Amino acid sequence: MTQETLGNKAQGLQAQGVMLEVPVNVKEMKSDFVLITYDLPNTPEGMKARVEFLARARRYGAVQHSETVYFVPWTDQVNYLILNLAEKGKSFIWFANTDGDTKRQLMMHYELTVRGWLKEIEERLDRMSAHLAQGKFGIAERMMDKTLEMVKDMDAIINNGCLPLAGEIKGLKEEFGRVASQVVLTDKKVLGRR
């Protein structure tokens, strides 16, 4: 990546920071990974910020590296996401370039984690289908909103271009549509009987 391209990306990140009112101070940018670190006090406010940070980190595709360090492969689409993470508590964003072995290890860890998230959604859809088959309509219906949120988040993570998993998310979206249709049809049947 050329220095000019890195400079343009730094300017873009700073401009987004101004629009979102998140202070951004870019020192040096490299193109492999974005590391996000946070330092939150052990207070009720800090705990609340930590919970929000961790939920956002996963929603945006950031994977835990160590206790307070998260990372995501850097693509052009990631800038906005990391700024949203930075506004929660005292967060720091670091851009890191890695050697070949380290990059492969981090990408393997990243892919295994994201595939684990995909598996969680698949298992959730399987549980919803099982509940419907057992006539437990209410349980399946209560699982709908959270499952839809998880599918949307995963779709956004994959659309960031970090991993080539378009086929997997397409299959999950189709399965969610099938299960959601069953919930709606069952809801109509249940309401029709009353």
Can you give the chain as a three-state secondary structure string? Answer: CCHHHHHHHHHHHHHHHHHHCCCCCCCCCCCCEEEEEECCCCCHHHHHHHHHHHHHHHHCCCEEEECCEEEEECCCCHHHHHHHHHCCCCEEEEEECCCHHHHHHHHHHHHHHHHHHHHHHHHHHHHHHHHHHCCCHHHHHHHHHHHHHHHHHHHHHHHCCCCCCHHHHHHHHHHHHHHHHHHHHHHHHHHHHC
pLDDT score for 136? 93
C-alpha–C-alpha distance, residues 153 and 88, integer Å:
19
Check: CB of residue 92 under 8 Å from CB of residue 100. Answer: no
C-alpha–C-alpha distance, residues 62 and 26, integer Å:
20
Q: pTM of the prediction?
A: 0.74
Q: Which of 17-21, 25-29, 103-107, 134-138 has the weakest average pLDDT? A: 25-29
C-alpha–C-alpha distance, residues 32 and 106, integer Å:
10
Q: Which of 23-27, 67-71, 103-107 has the weakest average pLDDT? A: 23-27
Per-residue pLDDT band for 86 (boundaries 50, 70, 90) equals: low
Check: CB of residue 88 under 8 Å from CB of residue 49. Answer: yes
The hierarchical CATH code for the domain 3-97 is: 3.30.70
Check: CB of residue 146 under 8 Å from CB of residue 99. Answer: no
**In this structure, which amino acid lies at residue 183?**
V
Number of Cβ atoms within 10 Å of the Cβ of 79: 21
Residue 29, pLDDT above cutoff 50: no
Per DSSP bridges, beta strands 91-96 and 33-38 are: antiparallel
C-alpha–C-alpha distance, residues 97 and 28, integer Å:
10
The hierarchical CATH code for the domain 102-193 is: 1.20.58.60
Query: What would the mean pLDDT of 108-124 be, rounded to a whole number?
Result: 95
pLDDT score for 139? 95
Residue 27, pLDDT above cutoff 60: no
Extents of the domains making up the chain: 3-97, 102-193
Tokens representing 62?
Answer: 């950031």
**Residue, of 189 and 50, whose pLDDT is higher:** 50
pLDDT in tens, 119-173: 999 999 999 999 999 999 999 999 999 999 999 999 988 888 778 888 899 999 9
